[in-house]
A and B are shown apart, each in its own frame.
Chain A
């Protein structure tokens, strides 16, 4: 069966750390960073890149549109 693998890129300097994407992710890929960005927010970061399925839920709910999503079919 064909499997999909996803990846996200977060524009950390524009992230305001609202954590809405963390709630929206079905596979718990996203977590909050311990360090802060240029504005002083704990930005979102990819904690479990292996689990990402590229569903784009995080990017769709992100109020600031900082997430870009990629998805690729992988033959298993």
Chain B
């Protein structure tokens, strides 16, 4: 048997294309640090929107934080909300246009700190939209200050000796909190640091959009545990490893609420 002599240039042609960045991401260079999970999260949301053929019917809401410029990168209709008010804005848009697919994209400072009231009340009212929550345990944009989601003992620029729980309080597991509310329909926690996790997260986002499309009566909440290598002062690969070792035990991955019922972990 003789192996065909195939060179790289023979393989690189449109008929052999397996994967390329979706056209729903603009060609602008992302404003994120090298290795930041935001870029991957943006891209998989846009891939889901493309695959479900709802480009014209989707409206995204950008937060305040690192991803404030999300509307520059996602090539769909977008709004930019005041700090933490994305769920309130999403409520307004969804009630005005019930047929549109609405999602908010928020970080932990936006969703779990200044926007806690909006988040909890939107979840409790059971608004029919999707919240994508990026949790990296730090205020990334303003220089790595301690956030509500910062782990106990974790160093940040405002907790240089590590978060002292007695003095600074406990980290907030807002995803578990909203899962307790009767208004949420689907609550899950995922990550985007490995190919397998990216695929799982994409499936979760697809499920959430399907629930919204079928008007299952409840809010869909997808948390993505992510890294902040600049804020954590690590290289991107080290930050991902640190996240697996430290973030995941505190923020375990998996579905928390499926079809309106809490998942029994035991």
Q: Which residues of A contact B (CB under 8 A)?
A: 5-7, 9, 14, 16-20, 22-24, 41, 49, 54, 56-57, 59-72, 74-76
Contact = CB atoms under 8 A, between A and B. Distances in A.
Given A9-B12, A20-B237, A70-B17, A60 B3 contact: no
B38 A63 contact: yes
8 contacts: A20-B236, A24-B194, A54-B18, A59-B21, A61-B198, A63-B40, A67-B19, A68-B20
Q: Is the interface of A mostly helix, strand, loop or mixed?
A: mixed
With a 10 A CB-CB cut-off, give which of A7, A19, A63, A76 has the most chain B CB atoms.
Answer: A63
Contacts of B236: 18-20
B218 interface: no
B160 interface: no
Contacts of A24: 194-195
B38 A69 contact: no
A72 B194 contact: no
Given A54-B16, A70-B13, 9 more contacts: A19-B237, A23-B240, A24-B194, A56-B19, A60-B40, A61-B193, A70-B11, A72-B16, A76-B3
B29 interface: yes
B35 A75 contact: no
Interface in B169-202: 192-195, 198-199
Contacts of A56: 18-19, 195
B34 interface: yes
Contact of B34 (A7, A18, A60): A18
B39 A72 contact: no
B39 A64 contact: yes
Nearest to A9: B12
B29 A14 contact: yes
Contacts of A6: 11, 18
B1 A76 contact: yes
Given A54-B18, A69-B18, A76-B3, A63 B35 contact: yes
B96 interface: no
A41 B34 contact: yes
B10 A72 contact: yes
Given A7-B11, A60-B195, A61-B193, A17 B34 contact: yes
